[in-house]
Amino acid sequence: MAANVTAILGEIHAGNIIHKDINPSNIILHPETGQVKIIDFGLSTVLTRESTTLKSPNVLEGTLAYMSPEQTGRMNRSLDYRTDFYSLGATFYELLTHQLPFESTDALELVHYHIAKQPTPPHQINPEIPKVVSDIVMKLLAKTAEQRYQSAWGIKADLEECLTQLQSFGKISEFPLGRQDILDKFQIPQKLYGREREIETLLAAFERVVGENIEVASNEKGAVEMMLVAGYSGIGKSSLVQEIYKPITRQKGYFISGKFDQYQRNIPWAVIKVFQELVRQLLTETESQLEQWKEKINAALGENGGIIVEVIPEVELIAGNQPEVVSLPPAEAQNRFNFVFQKFIRVFAQKEHPLVMFIDDLQWADGASLKLMQLLMTAADSEYLFFLGAYRDNEVSPSHPLMITIDEIRKSGTTVNYIWLSALKEVHINQLIVDTLKCERERSQPLTKLVIAKTQGNPFFVNEFLKSIYSENLLIFDIQQVCWQWNLEQIQERGFTDNVVELIAGKITKLPEATQEVLKVAACIGNQFDLKILANSIENSLTEVALSLRNAAVEGLILPLSDTYKSVELEVTSLDLKAELIVEYKFIHDRVQQAAYSLIPDRKKSFVHKQVGRTLLQNTLFFKEKKKFLISSINSILLLN
C-alpha cells in the first residue's frame, strides 16, 4: 500500500503539482480491492516552488501534525515538491507506530518540534519494525529537503525491495537506501554556504537579548541590541537574517520585517509598516489571547491609545475604540508620541515573547523612519528587543543619514554589532555545484572557476548564472549516463553578461509579451505587490494577469506568497484540480525588480507611475471606508455580547 501511495504521489509531482496536505485522512483505501487514491487538492499549488512566510501557527495551511519544517514558514526556505515527502513520512510513521512523530497541544511548540527535534525512530518504539523500514521513514522525515529522498520513484524502489525480501525470505534485511533515487530535476540547494561563523554570531546575539541560558536562569534580565548586516546586493544579507527563525520559535517570540524600496524612497514612516504586520499577526490568535492583548495594550497606553491608532489603525481592532487625541503644539505632540510609542513597544518585547524586528535596505531609509528607529533603540527600560538591519555598505558613506543615526544610537549606550558579508570562496561555490549536480569535486572544478569569473562569487548571481545555463540547455541531465553534462566551451561561446541586472533583463525579454508588461508595472508598485492593484493598473482581469505572472513564477523571477489566496477555479492540468488564484507576490530579489524596471522606456516611466498611483489612491480611499465599517461592526458585536 505504501508503495502504491508513493507511486501516485510521483504522478502528482510529475504534473508539477505540490499537494501540501498529505496525511491519513487524504489517503483513501478500498478495503476489498486494495486500490489507493490521494484526495483533497484544496491546498495544492501548480508551481514548482512557493515562498512561505513566518506567521502564527493558527493560520498555517495544511495539517500541522504532518507538516514539513519548511511549510511552517520558519525554516528560511521556500517549499517545493519534497515537502510532500516529509508529510508522507509522518503518515508512514503513524501507520507503523500508531502514534505521531511529535505530539503537543501547543501549536507553536509543535512547529518547533518539526523544525528542531528528531522523532524517535519507529524500530525503537516497536522492535518488530525492521530497521531498514524505520530508516526509510526517518529519511523522509529529514529536516531539510536535500536530506530526504529526491524522487517518489526512489522511495517506491526501496519500499518494493522491502516487499520483495519479505515475500521471498520472510524478513527484511538492511540495504543501502536511495540507490535508485535519481534527481533529474535542476534544484539548487537552499542552504547557506560559507556562512557558518556569521550564523553563529547572529544566534549568539539573539541569546544575549533574551538572556543567556534563559531556560535555566529564569531571573536573567533581557537586553536591547542592534545587529547590522552589511554587504553588496545579492551577497545573502536577508537569507542570513532569516536563520533567526528557529530560535525565535523556540522562545515563542515575534518576528516582524519590512524593507525600504529603491523606487519609493520618499514615503515616510516605513518602519511603522512592520508594526502593522505585528498587529495582523496578533489578530490571528485565539479569542482569549486577543482579550489578553487588549488588556495589556489599554493598560500600557491609557488615555493615549488614539495616538498609536493614528499611525497603526489596526490596533483599534484589538484594543477597541480609543479616546480622541488632544491637540498639542508640534514639539509637545512629538514628545508625547515618542513617549507613548515606547510604551507600546514594551507591551510586545517581553521575556515570554521577545520581539525581533528586521528592516532590509536601510540605505534607502527616509529621515522620519531613521528617527523612529533611533527612538526604538534608545528607549529607557527596554528589554527583549532585537533589531536587525541590512544595508549595502557600498552605497553609504560616513556622512550618510543612516550612518549618522547608527552613530547616535551607539553613543546612547545601545549595543550595536556588525556582520560584514563578502563574496563566497571557491571551495564554497564548488560545494554548491557538487550538491546541485551530484558530481565529484574534481569534475566540477573547471565549471566552478568559470562561475566565479562571471559572478565574482556573489551568491545571488551564482544562482542566476547556473539557472541561465540550465534554461539555455547548456546543463543537461543525461539519462543514459545518469548524470549531469555540460560543455565549458559552449557556455563561454554563448557570451553571458557579467552584469546580473542585464542577465535577468535578458531572461525577462524571453518571456511572453504580456508577462513582460505585467512585470514592468509590478516593478513600479514595489518589491511586493498585490494582484488586484496590478490588474487595475493595467486595466486587465485578475485571471489574465495571474496567468501572465505564472510564467514569471515558473522562471523563478517572482515568488507567490502562500498565505494569500483567493478561490478561483482554473483549468490547469488534466487532473480534476481546483487551482487557487494567488493574490500577492514578491520579486525574488531587488535585482529582479530593478531588471524589470530597466525595461520600461524612459519616455513611458512617468505614465506607468501615474497609472499605479491612481490605482493605489483609489484603493486607499476604498479601504478607509471599509475599515470604518469593520470597526463599527465589531464594536456593535462587542456591545451586544
Q: What is the pLDDT of residues 291-327, one digit of tens each?
A: 999 999 999 999 999 999 988 888 999 999 998 888 8
Q: In this model, does residue 637 exceed pLDDT 50?
A: no
> How much is the pLDDT for 368?
83
Q: What is the pLDDT of residues 518-571, one digit of tens each?
A: 999 999 988 888 888 899 898 888 888 988 988 888 888 988 775 433 333 333
The mean per-residue pLDDT over the stretch 402-424 comes to 95
17-31, 177-191, 503-517: least confidently modelled range = 177-191
Percent residues over pLDDT 70 in the chain: 88
The H or E element containing residue 257 is: strand 254-259
**Cα(209)–Cα(270) distance, rounded to whole angstroms?**
24
> How much is the pLDDT for 214?
45
* Nearest Cα residue to 469 out of 500, 494, 506: 494
Crossing angle, helix 2-14 and helix 83-97, to 10 degrees?
170
The model carries a pTM of 0.81
**Cα(510)–Cα(536) distance, rounded to whole angstroms?**
25
- Indicate the pLDDT class of residue 402, thresholds 50, 70 and 90: very high
> How much is the pLDDT for 212?
59
DSSP 193: S
> How much is the pLDDT for 634?
45
Rg of the Cα atoms in the chain: 26
- Decide: helix, strand or coil at residue 98: coil
Q: What is the pLDDT of residues 348-381, one digit of tens each?
A: 999 999 999 999 999 999 888 898 899 889 887 8
3-17, 39-53, 615-629: least confidently modelled range = 615-629
Q: What is the mean pLDDT of the chain?
A: 86
Tell me how crowded residue 14 is: count the other CB atoms within 10 A of its CB.
12
Q: Phi first, then psi: what are they for 251, rounded to 5°?
A: -90, 5
> How much is the pLDDT for 559?
82
CB distance 523 to 587 below 8 Å: yes
The mean per-residue pLDDT over the stretch 629-640 comes to 47
Residue 552 sits at the vertex; the CA angle it makes with 493 and 462, to the nearest 5 degrees, is 45
Q: In this model, does residue 576 exceed pLDDT 60?
A: no
CB distance 34 to 41 below 8 Å: no
CB distance 190 to 217 below 8 Å: no
The mean per-residue pLDDT over the stretch 593-607 comes to 91
Q: Is 580 exposed, middle or buried (0-12, 13-18, 19+ CB in 10 A)?
A: buried
CB distance 360 to 238 below 8 Å: yes
* Nearest Cα residue to 548 out of 596, 590, 591: 596
> How much is the pLDDT for 615?
86
> How much is the pLDDT for 315?
92
**Cα(305)–Cα(639) distance, rounded to whole angstroms?**
20
> How much is the pLDDT for 185?
81
The mean per-residue pLDDT over the stretch 577-595 comes to 75
> How much is the pLDDT for 265?
61
**Cα(128)–Cα(266) distance, rounded to whole angstroms?**
67
Q: In this model, does residue 132 exceed pLDDT 90?
A: yes
Q: SS3 for 468-486, per residue? A: HHHHCCCEEEECCCCEEEE
Q: What is the pLDDT of residues 245-263, one digit of tens each?
A: 889 988 889 998 888 887 6
* Nearest Cα residue to 241 out of 108, 353, 358, 335: 358
The mean per-residue pLDDT over the stretch 136-156 comes to 95
CB distance 406 to 416 below 8 Å: yes
Q: In this model, does residue 578 exceed pLDDT 50?
A: no
Q: In this model, does residue 574 exceed pLDDT 80?
A: no
> How much is the pLDDT for 47?
67
Distances (CA, A) of 112 to 67, 99, 236, 620: 11, 18, 25, 38
CB distance 588 to 556 below 8 Å: yes
173-182, 183-192, 459-468, 511-520: least confidently modelled range = 183-192
CB distance 184 to 153 below 8 Å: no
Q: In this model, does residue 624 exceed pLDDT 80?
A: no
Tell me how crowded residue 290 is: count the other CB atoms within 10 A of its CB.
16
> How much is the pLDDT for 287?
87
> How much is the pLDDT for 616?
81
β-sheet bridge partners, residue 561: 51
Q: In this model, does residue 235 exceed pLDDT 50?
A: yes
CB distance 444 to 434 below 8 Å: yes
DSSP 185: S
C-alpha cell of 392? 549595502
The mean per-residue pLDDT over the stretch 323-345 comes to 89
